[in-house]
Amino acid sequence: MRETHRPRETAGGSGPGRSPHRPGRAFGHGTGASGSGTSHRSDGRPPHTPRGARRPGPAGHPGTTPPVPGWPASLVLGPLVALFALITWQVAADGPLVRLDERVGEHLFERGPAPLTQFLSDLGGVPVALPVLVCAMAYALWRGARRLPVYAALTMAAVPALVIPLKVATARQGPLTEAVNYYPSGHTATAAVAYGASALLLLAVPRPAWLRAWLTPVAAVLLTAATGVGLVLHGYHWPLDVLASWCLGPVLLAPLWWACRRSSPVAAGR
C-alpha cells in the first residue's frame, strides 16, 4: 500500500488521503505539472476533451479541420433530386404542372431581341461549351492535376448518357414544333456541366493572382442561367425543360466536386 501511495504524492502534490480516482476528470482538462505542457495522464496520450489537443486527421475523417463538408452538400442535392423527379413524373404523366408550364411558356416565347436570345442559347451548344471545358482540363493537367481532368471528362460524358434516354422515354413535344424529345434540355445540362466542371478544375489547381476564387463559380452560374433563359425566350424549350436540367447539373457535378475537395496535394499548392 505504501508503494501505491507514493506516486500520488509525487504527481499531485497532495497527501495520502486523496482518492486515486478523483484526478481522472480534472487532469483531462489541464496541462502538465509545473507548466511543462504535457498531460498528467500516465500513458502519455493527449486529453480527449480540449479541442486544441486533437490532431486533424485526413480529410473526410472525424477530427478534421475544417469539418467534413459532406452533410451540407446532401442538404442541397436532396431537394434538387426530389424536384427533378417531380418534374420528370409530371412530364411523363402529362400532369397539371405541365399544363401550367405550357401556359407560362406561351407568354415568354419570342420575347427579347432574337439575335441576343439565339446567342444565349448557343452558349449551351457543344461547339461553345465543350472547348471551354477542354481548355480547363488542359490547364489542370499543366498545373499537375492528373486525375481531375479524367473525372471531368467522365462527368461530361454522363450528360448525353442520362439526358438522351430521358428524352426518348418522355417524348415531350417542343414548344414551337411538332418534333418530340425535348425534355430535359440538353443545351442547359451541357452548359451546367461544362462550365461547372471548368470552375471546379480551376478552383482545385494553383491559379494566377488575378483570377479570384469567386470568379469561376460565378461565371459558371451566370453562363448556365443565361443559356436557360435564352432557350426559353427564343422558344427552343419549355421552362420545365430548363428547370429540370438546372437541377440535374449540380447532381452530375457532385462526384467531381468531391474529388476536387479530396485532392489534397493539389489543394495544398493553392
Q: HEC profile for 65-99?
A: CCCCCHHHHHHHHHHHHHHHHHHHHHHHHCCHHHH
What pLDDT, on a 0 to 100 scale, did the predictor assign at position 17? 46
Domain assignments of the chain as residue spans, ordered by start: 22-54, 70-268
Q: Which helix (H) or strand (E) holds 37?
A: none
At residue 261, the pLDDT reads 85
Predicted TM-score (pTM) above 0.75: no
pLDDT: which is higher, 129 or 27: 129
CA neighbor of 256 nearest in space, from 166, 179, 147, 132: 147
Cell numbers 440535374: residue = 248
Exposure of 8 in the CB half-sphere (CA atoms within 13 A) = 16
User: Residue 235: CB partners within 8 Å, gap ≥ 6?
Assistant: 109, 110, 175, 176
DSSP structure class, residue 45: P
Interval 152-166 mean pLDDT: 97
pLDDT, one tens digit per residue, over 132-148 is 999 999 999 999 899 99
Half-sphere exposure of 148 (CA within 13 A, CB side): 34
Find the Cα–Cα–Cα–Cα dihedral 171, 158, 228, 166, rounded to 10°: 10
Per-residue model confidence as pLDDT tens digits over 99-119: 999 999 999 998 999 999 999
Does an H or E element contain 151, and which? helix 148-170
Sign of the dihedral defined by the CA atoms of residues 34, 37, 43, 49, in that order: positive
Between the two ends of the chain, the Cα-to-Cα distance in Å is 60
- pLDDT higher than threshold 80 for residue 9: no
Between helices 148-170 and 186-204, what is the axis angle to 10°? 170
Closest CA to 266 of 149, 153, 154, 156: 149
184 sits in the region (left: phi over 0; alpha: psi -120 to 50; else beta) called beta
Task: Flag whether pLDDT at 5 surpasses 60.
Answer: no
**Alpha-carbon dihedral of residues 81, 86, 87, 91, nearest 10 degrees?**
140
Rounded alpha-carbon distances, angstroms, from residue 137 to 130, 141, 201, 205, 256: 10, 6, 7, 11, 13
